[in-house]
Structure 1
Amino acid sequence: MKSTNVAATAAALTAALVLTGCTGADTSGSTPSSSPADPTTSESGTQASAEHNDADITFARGMIPHHQQAIEMSKLADDRAASPELRRLAAKIEQAQAPEITTLRGFLAAWNAPESGVDHESGGHESGDHESDDHGGMSGMMTGDQMRQLEQSSGAAFDRSFLDMMIAHHEGAVRMAKKQLANGINPEAGELARNIIDTQRAEITEMRGLLD
């Protein structure tokens, strides 16, 4: 009889442990999931919200070659510019825009959008066509002829050409960034657009001062 009571007690304890384990589980019925706005980390290490639209993609695709051309122009100042102030400004432009290219490429990678659909030389625009934002929003891009003219100049002539061209180039970037703020939905792209506006407006003011 005694052994029967011991066995019954052991069975009761086992049942209690099983019940305790069940009640310790998540009974809410919910499972972790990724919403469209969850951040996604791209291969470049840049984190961007997955939420985006065509305007966000157009902004990133258009701004990459736009920045690349600004960097190409800035590199020319190293051995062609007469003004040390201009050389310092050109170096600052290069240092600011190179990391932004990495960020923009990170956006496209996070959105599974290829880096394509743009003209990497002139964007289909002539130098005077700064208000047009078609063909990827490549406003303010220099033509191949303008870039060759800049490459072949030096000294004071280079300084003036560089400043005239880079002011127009920056004004185009500001318009592209404003278009992103008006039409895009990705928060990180919007933050970058605001930074581009603030930075390049300040540089435009500085360049106009060097022209005086």
Structure 2
Amino acid sequence: MRHRLAVAGVAAVVTACGLAGCSGDGDQKEAGPKQTVLQPGRPGEPNKTALLGPSPAKPPTDAEVRFFQMMIPHHRQAVEMSVLAPGQAADPKVKALAERIDKAQQVEISAMQSWLKQKGKPTSAGTGGHGGHGAHGGKADAHANMPGMATPAQMAQLREARGAAFDKLFLDLMIVHHQGALTMVKDVFDKGTDVTVQQMARDVMSGQNAEIARMRDLQKA
């Protein structure tokens, strides 16, 4: 619950920023009110006036932009795996976990897409648009090197599995998938100053660590 609320908060901040018009570098010049102040000159020199105000926000780093661009298809695969659970899982606890993953990562995807659009950045890393989530032919190859991504063969196996076999495979694949996301998070920590990106990275780390622990408990049950 805490993770879902935190993610929803990030999404709300991103949406509010969009509504307020803080969508590009040009808006940073009007970050707040400015005022004219008198600066005493050096001995023998006249006084000067200066316009003071908030410093423009620093643009996001390449690492931050790429983090969101790569995390979007990574999350999409987790969603693709999770939506199979209602009709194929046997354990109600697995179904509940899958539903939570589906909803949380859909919210995060929307927030990341919104942030990228506000910054004037493409929502993909130049690898074929929206579909690169490890399951559809050539588009799968574009993101095959991302940590934790299930292969097309593994996704096909998951679609065919039913009952206890589905539960086991789902947990096995999703744990590896979450661990891959944590690897990606480590690559972006402290490599930028954007509040939204760094907060989202912290949310992903805390939420997916908690879900990994939950999935390991389910494996032991």
Length-normalised TM-score, structure 2: 0.68
**Which stretches in structure 2 are left out of the alignment for 5+ residues?**
1-34, 38-48, 136-141
What is the deviation of 1:145?
1.2
Residues in 2 aligned to 1:65 and 1:71: alpha-carbon distance in whole angstroms: 10
Match of 2:5 in 1: none
Q: Out of 117, 134, 141, which is 1:122 matched to?
A: 134
Q: Which residue identity does 2:67 align to in structure 1?
A: F
Match of 2:188 in 1: 180
1:1-212 aligned within 5 A: 28=37, 35-37=55-57, 51-116=59-124, 117-118=126-127, 120-122=132-134, 138-212=146-220
Say if 2:147 and 2:181, in contact at 8 Å, map to a contact too: yes
Residues in 1 aligned to 2:195 and 2:144: alpha-carbon distance in whole angstroms: 20
Residues in 2 aligned to 1:82 and 1:137: alpha-carbon distance in whole angstroms: 31
Match of 1:14 in 2: none
Say if 1:139 and 1:175, in contact at 8 Å, map to a contact too: yes
Residues in 2 aligned to 1:52 and 1:147: alpha-carbon distance in whole angstroms: 34
Q: Which residue identity does 1:122 align to in structure 2?
A: G
Q: Which residue identity does 2:119 align to in structure 1?
A: W
CA offset digits 1:8-33 (Å, max 9, x no partner): xxxxxxxxxxxxxxxxxx76566698
SS where residue 103 of structure 2 aligns? helix
Say if 2:76 and 2:133, in contact at 8 Å, map to a contact too: no
Residues in 2 aligned to 1:196 and 1:159: alpha-carbon distance in whole angstroms: 23
What is the deviation of 1:115?
1.7
Q: Which residue identity does 1:186 align to in structure 2?
A: D
Rg (Cα) greater in structure: 1
What is the deviation of 1:88?
0.3
Q: Which residue identity does 1:58 align to in structure 2?
A: R
Match of 1:44 in 2: none
Residues in 1 aligned to 2:95 and 2:143: alpha-carbon distance in whole angstroms: 32
Aligned length: 165
Q: Name the CA shift for 1:188/1:65 in 2 (closer, same or farther; >3 Å).
A: same
What is the deviation of 1:34?
7.9
Q: Name the CA shift for 1:77/1:136 in 2 (closer, same or farther; >3 Å).
A: closer
Aligned-pair Cα RMSD in Å: 2.4
Q: Which residue identity does 2:109 align to in structure 1?
A: I
Q: Name the CA shift for 1:32/1:201 in 2 (closer, same or farther; >3 Å).
A: same
Residues in 2 aligned to 1:62 and 1:177: alpha-carbon distance in whole angstroms: 11
Say if 1:62 and 1:136, in contact at 8 Å, map to a contact too: no
